[in-house]
């Protein structure tokens, strides 16, 4: 067997439930950021960035924070 060297950037480490929860939170976050933009620009910007990161994670199926801690919510395939 050959061992893979390097960092596989798009290694899937999220379960479908994890991805769905992240997607729903991001879909709620974008309109919330738009609504809050006039009242509190900093809070709206933070919510928009967090929503974008969650949407990226939901669509790609990989979470780099999970990768740093060697954690996965995927089912183990035997």
Q: Considering Cα of 47, then 52, then 58, then 63, what sign does the dihedral take?
A: negative
**Per-residue confidence band for 1, with pLDDT thresholds at 50, 70 and 90:** very low
DSSP alpha helix (H) spans, 1-40? 16-36
pLDDT at 8: 62
pLDDT at 10: 67
pLDDT at 64: 78
With beta carbons less than 8 A apart as the criterion, state whether 61 and 14 touch: yes
Grouping H, G, I as helix, E, B as strand and the rest as coil, residue 37 is coil
pLDDT tens digit sequence for 6-47 = 566 667 788 889 889 999 999 999 999 999 888 888 999 999
Domain residue ranges in the chain = 16-68
């Amino acid at each position: 067997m050959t061992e893979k060297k390097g960092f596989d950037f798009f290694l899937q480490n999220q379960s479908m439930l994890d991805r769905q929860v992240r997607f729903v939170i991001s879909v709620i976050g974008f309109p919330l950021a738009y609504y809050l933009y006039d009242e509190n620009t900093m809070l709206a910007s933070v919510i928009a960035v967090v929503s974008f990161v969650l949407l990226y994670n939901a669509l790609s199926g990989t979470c780099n924070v999970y990768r740093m801690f060697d954690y996965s919510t995927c089912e183990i395939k035997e």
